[in-house]
Amino acid sequence: MKDKDRFQLKWPWNVVAYIGVTLVLGYCIGYLWSILLAVWFYHYQKKKHPEMPEGGYCLARTRKRLIYVPLNLLILLLGVGMLAFTWEHRPESELYEPVKYMTGWVIGLVLCAIALYEMYSNIRDVLFPDKSTLAQSIKSQMPDPEATAPTPELFAMVDQDIETNGQWFDQVVVGKKWVLGDTACYIPRIRAVFGRDEIRQHHANGQTNGGRIIQVFLMDDRRQVQILKLKNPNELPMLLDCLRLRTPDAYFGSFEDDYEAFRKKSEDEWYAFERKFQQKKNQRGLRQFEEDAPKEQSMILTRADGSVTSRVEEGLIKQLLGKEQFSLTAGQSVRADGHDFTELRYVPVGEAEAELVLKEVRKDQHKEYGLRRIVGQMEAKHILEDWIQRKIPNLAGWERIYLNVFRPEEKYENPPPELWLVSNSGIRQQHHTFTREDIEVLAEGLVDGSYQKMQLTFYGYLFMQIETGNQFDGRCTVCVTHPDGDELRLFETKSTSRQAAGWLLEFYDGSFSPDWSTWKDHTKKLSQE
């Protein structure tokens, strides 16, 4: 509570106070020592209070550019000094040398221009954050840079991500959606990352001088590059590992070996790379969706009236014993003695006995196999309780039978139409109610690449399945079932996305009748499945 209530100077008065105290101490103990003391005190305060700085991390980065103004002034003084020195060596002077004269003017003017531009940009970033380099980098990555939110809202968006999810590496911080250095980079747009750890050496006057360059280059989907600068080489591998977790589909390489070749990719090569990136992203999203999707119930009870429940308890089994028939279907098959079983059916036979039928996963076109046994009600109760726990009873004495798939005495209603699809972002959808307008929208999505895969099914067995192409073959794969007399056949072909969209509409309207001789017949594959 004391930390919250303690007095703190706010921007810009805290900067004025720092400068004033530094000047006073400099008069007393020397300006070099006073500057060192001010820097130490600043880092001490920052370490003691690591919370978000006043105004947020983004504003702190723009204000930090103020410390470069003295350096800009020094460069400006060097430029002015070079111009003054050159003026002394003008043609009227006895020291005039044409080469040195021209070189002096060029160096002096370049230094002055650099210093004035940097001084202007640094002061602009501090006084006008809306026009700062950081604000422009955030706006340029928005879907519509011309219609983005005000700069304070953009800064608040980045600050919230950094405060909640930020991982710090020197002066670089990686959030869940943003990477903040001197500029900000939106993580979902990153396509390639290149680490650079280079030691440069040069020889002059018999001495060897060197420096170490530690950087990370981030290339986004616009092929624009942002550079993150580090001081500690030990932070580089940790930063790269963090970026791999944040953007697992991006390309990671070294600056020395891969950066130039990657930057010089042609438009066709970049298009192929972008398509491969999206495919990896979609596949990962689909895997994640399937992992996060609710898992199938371990056991489902179906009663004689057709009602279904997944809350199967021993008390419910006791209530039904001897009164009505029911079945228990496992979400995943239960394996025993080399056989897989999916269902245990209970049929009461009188008051003391019951018929149990274990349905086996082994079928041909007309038969379903199983095992049957007549047991007492008490034994049936134990077998049912074990089956709920996915345990198979002792199969000795069970009779092997087969069950007809088609039962004329039973009346079945045609199942409703079904439409399922996987979007380009990896989201899977399933619909049982839809109109032709919905199918038209889906057809347009096939043409513009909004969907990866879809299937439209009628009567439970007539379906058309369309899967979009990949980087090796951009054509769609179309699979269709077609009744031929008493046999259901499966055909497959390749087509353009526009042709597949047209076939989809015809299939929905019931007017689909292509030349089957040009399609591949995969009926054997259908019977095997």
pLDDT tens digits, 392-401: 888 888 887 7
Judged by average pLDDT, the poorest of 267-276, 337-346, 350-359, 395-404 is 395-404
Inform me whether the pLDDT recorded for 286 exceeds 70: no
Which pLDDT does position 308 carry in this prediction?
A: 73
Tell me how far apart the alpha carbons of residues 524 and 529 are, in angstroms, rounded to a whole number.
9
Tell me how far apart the alpha carbons of residues 315 and 306 are, in angstroms, rounded to a whole number.
20
Q: How confident is the model at residue 187 (pLDDT cuts 50, 70, 90)?
A: very high
Which pLDDT does position 191 carry in this prediction?
A: 93
Q: Tell me which residue of 45, 42, 23 sits closest to 34, measured CA to CA.
A: 23
Two tokens, residue 105: 């003017």
Q: How confident is the model at residue 303 (pLDDT cuts 50, 70, 90)?
A: confident
Q: How confident is the model at residue 466 (pLDDT cuts 50, 70, 90)?
A: very high
Two tokens, residue 522: 């995969």
The residue length of the chain stands at 529
Calculated CA dihedral for residues 436, 440, 446, 451, nearest 10 degrees: -60
Q: How confident is the model at residue 405 (pLDDT cuts 50, 70, 90)?
A: very low
Helix (H) or strand (E) holding 9: none
Two tokens, residue 48: 């003691």
Rg (CA), the chain: 37
Average pLDDT rounded to a whole number, residues 244-272: 90
Q: How confident is the model at residue 406 (pLDDT cuts 50, 70, 90)?
A: very low
Q: Which amino acid is at 179?
A: V
Sign of the alpha-carbon dihedral angle for 360, 364, 368, 369? negative
Judged by average pLDDT, the poorest of 139-153, 239-253, 335-349, 458-472 is 139-153
Tell me how far apart the alpha carbons of residues 134 and 181 are, in angstroms, rounded to a whole number.
9
Q: What would the pLDDT profile of 47-63 be if each residue is shown by its tens digit?
A: 555 555 556 778 777 77
Which pLDDT does position 124 carry in this prediction?
A: 80
Which pLDDT does position 5 carry in this prediction?
A: 45
**What percent of the chain is predicted at pLDDT more than 70?**
78
**What percent of the chain is predicted at pLDDT more than 90?**
9
Tell me how far apart the alpha carbons of residues 308 and 182 are, in angstroms, rounded to a whole number.
60
Which pLDDT does position 190 carry in this prediction?
A: 93
Q: How confident is the model at residue 1 (pLDDT cuts 50, 70, 90)?
A: very low
Which pLDDT does position 194 carry in this prediction?
A: 95
What does each C-alpha distance from 154 to 93, 137, 221, 472 come to in angstroms? 58, 11, 20, 40
Specify the long-range contacts of residues 37-41, CB closer than 8 Å, at least 24 apart.
none
Q: Which residue has the higher pLDDT, 170 or 92?
A: 170
3-state secondary structure of 101: helix
Q: Is the pTM of this model over 0.85?
A: no
Alpha helices in 479-522 (DSSP H): 497-509
Q: Which residue has the higher pLDDT, 526 or 20?
A: 20
| Mean residue pLDDT across the chain | 78
Which pLDDT does position 8 carry in this prediction?
A: 53
**What is the number of other CB atoms lying within 10 angstroms of the CB of residue 62?**
24
Inform me whether the pLDDT recorded for 287 exceeds 70: no
Q: How confident is the model at residue 478 (pLDDT cuts 50, 70, 90)?
A: very high
What does each C-alpha distance from 149 to 106, 159, 200, 265 come to in angstroms? 44, 15, 43, 34
What does each C-alpha distance from 494 to 261, 438, 453 come to in angstroms? 35, 24, 14
What does each C-alpha distance from 225 to 137, 171, 191, 218, 272 come to in angstroms? 11, 18, 10, 5, 19
HSE of 240, CA atoms in CB hemisphere, 13 A: 19
Which pLDDT does position 7 carry in this prediction?
A: 45
Q: Tell me which residue of 234, 137, 232 sits closest to 181, measured CA to CA.
A: 137
Top mean-pLDDT range of 21-30, 45-54, 379-388, 409-418: 379-388
Q: How confident is the model at residue 243 (pLDDT cuts 50, 70, 90)?
A: very high
485-509 burial, b at 16+ Cβ within 10 Å, e below that, comes to: eeeebbbebebebebbbbbbeebbe
Task: Assign residue 55 a region (left: φ > 0; alpha: ψ between -120 and 50; beta: otherwise).
Answer: left
Q: Which residue has the higher pLDDT, 116 or 528?
A: 116
Q: How confident is the model at residue 279 (pLDDT cuts 50, 70, 90)?
A: confident
